[in-house]
Amino acid sequence: MSVKKELLTGNDVVLKAALLAGANYFAGYPITPSTEIMNGWAKLAASDRSLEFLQTEDEISAGMATIGGLLAGKKAWTVTAGVGHILMQDPMVLAETLSLPFVMYVGQRGGPSTGTVIYSQQELNLARYGGNSEGLRVVYAPSNIQELFEITQKAFYTAWRYQLPTIILGDGYLTKTLSPVDVSKVLPQEKAKPYFLKDEIKHLRNCFSREEELAEHLNTLFAKYAAASRQIVESESYKINDAKVVVFAWGTVGFAAKVAVSNLRKKGKAVGLFRPITMRPFDDKNAIRAVKKARKILIAESSGGQFGRIVRETLSQATKAEYVRLYKPAEGITPEEIEEKLTGML
């Protein structure tokens, strides 16, 4: 396949990838830094009758309208950020209970409350386990715009293939940056179909009368999620075979960490990187493998330890390596900062 590059922002990329994945219905509410995705869809839908668009009064309504589209057989999806992500947890857990392929892009922004509207990695806990739920969802974390293009397509495939709510967890840096993107890679997709077919009644249940009934339903969902997780889980291990110091980072910080590790490797330094691509499910097996020879572990994140808690829990019985933290809640982390930190640990 020939390479075809276009100069696009991350928001442009999400929109283009969703269209390539077959999305044909969007319900949403504007919120920075993701509003351009909704605006772009609205413009396309105004001239293309195959696309449907609904701007609702808030994010709860947008999420429920997305579920309505799914039940009608549409490849429906939505986009949000920050406080909107909080409100989306109600429809998200409904989608978990009903096993619906609810796809949502989230452009993280800083909190508490409305905070800043550009960047953070503070919505990780929310994305993984938000709502009165057990986190029966998939959370992808792209690290650059090219990966965002491919992961957005993959999110649609995963959601429909495994009938699981799926989040693409980005941020304002990722979605606002302009970058050349190879748009020639088109991933295979699953077809959407109505949940209520002619001459067929499908009972989708969200309310249970007895504790035992809900427990039985949850156990069925747990088994389904565990089986799907083995096919979905994904991570990147970079230069870890002989690494004495391994940095754990995700999303855009993971991209910065890879640059830092690459720079230090050119200087002969034994450093490596573990970067989860699915934040849920989390690749415990390869995370443990990444620290097999490590004496020290650097955890770098733009939050106050949300990722660090996952890392320490995962590695608690696997290593005696010393942990060093580079936590900058709601602030970006540069390759130079990570390189400096790693150098001091060697």
- pLDDT of res. 201: 61
> Roughly how many angstroms between the first and final C-alpha of the chain, as a whole number?
43
For residues 134 and 206, state if they share a domain.
yes
Residue located via tokens 């920050």? 82
Our count of domains for the chain comes to 2
Give the residue from 189, 209, 232 where a domain finishes.
Answer: 232
Give the residue from 173, 200, 232 where a domain finishes.
Answer: 232
Give the residue from 185, 213, 232 where a domain finishes.
Answer: 232
User: What mean pLDDT comes out for the span 302-314?
Assistant: 98
For residues 164 and 305, state if they share a domain.
no
For residues 222 and 244, state if they share a domain.
no
For residues 192 and 259, state if they share a domain.
no
Examine the pLDDT at 265 and tell me if it is beyond 70.
yes
Range of the domain at 186: 5-232
Query: Residue 223 contacts by C-beta under 8 Å, 6 or more apart in sequence?
Result: none
pLDDT single digits (tens) 285-294: 999 999 999 9
Q: What is the CATH number of the domain that holds 265?
A: 3.40.50.920
* 193 — pLDDT class (breaks 50, 70, 90): confident
For residues 213 and 286, state if they share a domain.
no
Q: Answer with the residue of higher pLDDT: 256 or 133.
A: 256
Query: Angle at CA 13, nearest 5°, toward 159 and 284?
Result: 45
For residues 29 and 154, state if they share a domain.
yes
Examine the pLDDT at 123 and tell me if it is beyond 80.
yes
Q: What is the CATH number of the domain that holds 10?
A: 3.40.50.970
* 221 — pLDDT class (breaks 50, 70, 90): very high
What's the distance, CA 98 to chain centroid? 21
DSSP 92-143: HHHHHHHT---EEEEEE---STT--SS--STTHHHHHH-SSS---SEEE---
For residues 37 and 172, state if they share a domain.
yes
For residues 228 and 265, state if they share a domain.
no
Examine the pLDDT at 252 and tell me if it is beyond 90.
yes
- pLDDT of res. 272: 98
Q: Please give the Cα distance from 308 to 310 (Å, whole number).
A: 5
pLDDT single digits (tens) 28-78: 999 999 999 999 999 999 999 999 999 999 999 999 999 999 999 999 999
Examine the pLDDT at 229 and tell me if it is beyond 70.
yes
Query: Residue 273 contacts by C-beta under 8 Å, 6 or more apart in sequence?
Result: 236, 237, 238, 239, 240, 246, 247, 248, 249, 254, 257, 258, 261
* C-alpha distances in Å from residue 153, one per residue of 73, 185, 187, 250: 18, 10, 6, 19
DSSP letter, residue 213: H
- pLDDT of res. 130: 96
For residues 14 and 158, state if they share a domain.
yes
Q: What percent of the chain has pLDDT over 70?
A: 98
pTM for the whole thing?
0.97
Q: Please give the Cα distance from 310 to 334 (Å, whole number).
A: 22
Which residues partner with 166 through β-bridges? 103, 138
For residues 228 and 241, state if they share a domain.
no
For residues 270 and 125, state if they share a domain.
no
For residues 247 and 336, state if they share a domain.
yes
